[in-house]
Amino acid sequence: MKAGRTIGLAECDVTDVEGRLIARAMSTRMTLRGEPSEGR
């Protein structure tokens, strides 16, 4: 949904066949670069 250089946001809506919302998920993520990301 939105992405910056380090932080991203994702959303997902699940609807039934009639278009009614039955579930929603939201997630954030952080991208590590350089030394902090080594070994991950």
How does pLDDT run across 8-40, given as a tens digit for each residue? 999 999 999 999 999 999 999 888 887 767 877
pTM of the model: 0.53
State the amino acid at position 1 in one-letter form.
Answer: M
Could you tell me if 20 and 13 are in contact, meaning their C-beta atoms sit under 8 angstroms apart?
A: no
**39 lies in a domain?**
no
The count of structural domains within the chain is: 1
* Domain with 23 in it: 2-34
Q: Judge whether 20 lies within some domain.
A: yes
Beta bridge partners of 25: 12
Planar angle of CA 34, 36, 40, nearest 5 degrees: 100
The reported pLDDT for the residue numbered 4 is 75
